[in-house]
Amino acid sequence: MRGGILLPMPKLLIATNNPGKAAEFQTLLDRCGWELVTPADVGVELGDDEPHDSYAENAELKARRGAEASGLVTLADDSGIEIEAMNGEPGVHSARFLGDDATYQQRFAEIERRLEGIPPANRGARFICVIAVADPKSGNVRFAEGEVRGLIAQQPRGDRGFGYDPIFWIPQRSATMAEVPQHEKDIISHRARAAAPAREILKELLYEHSEADPGYAREPS
């Protein structure tokens, strides 16, 4: 609030072309003091390539690319599923496991083939997410991370979520990630756990930018 006038929220670019992921961030970052926009909203095209061997490097690349193309503070993430009995595969290559054109049903079938005969207790896995927030004003990138541990189900279950959610079994919920209600997923998922510290990063950036320019942001409602 400035001089009795409610100023518009600054825009935060969510650097993803995945509608499911963009929708999750809309919920996870609700009332964070920023107006979330997608590449399509601001008329920029961003590639989906993730050439690096670490989540942080891929997230940073996408965040920097979005910030340079749009001039906006940009948030990007990289995430994956790591399966203990597969030596951590597919990991950072989860989105390209078996090739860019493979369906998730094909990926699930290949994972089950590799885990055939392995008892449930030895089918441990984790989802991990690394978020990068790039600030075009300073050129700095800040990171947040979250993970959730579970098991690989013997067959896909559930129609909520996206990606590997149908085969990620959460023992505490006796359900796969694709079966839990969305409001629960927004608390327990790897992306939710990374979004919590990312909200703090966004608050810091609001403060820093408003210190330099008092008209930069309005008070969050």
What are the catalytic residues? 78
Q: What is the DSSP letter of 28?
A: H
- In degrees and rounded to multiples of 5, residue 17 shows phi and psi of -105, 5
| Count of residues in the chain | 221
Q: How far apart are CA 1 and CA 191, in angstroms?
A: 31
Instruction: State the DSSP H helix or E strand holding residue 73, giving kind and residue range, or none if neither.
Output: strand 73-83
Q: How far apart are CA 158 and CA 58, in angstroms?
A: 29
Q: How far apart are CA 111 and CA 103, in angstroms?
A: 13
Q: What is the DSSP letter of 83?
A: E
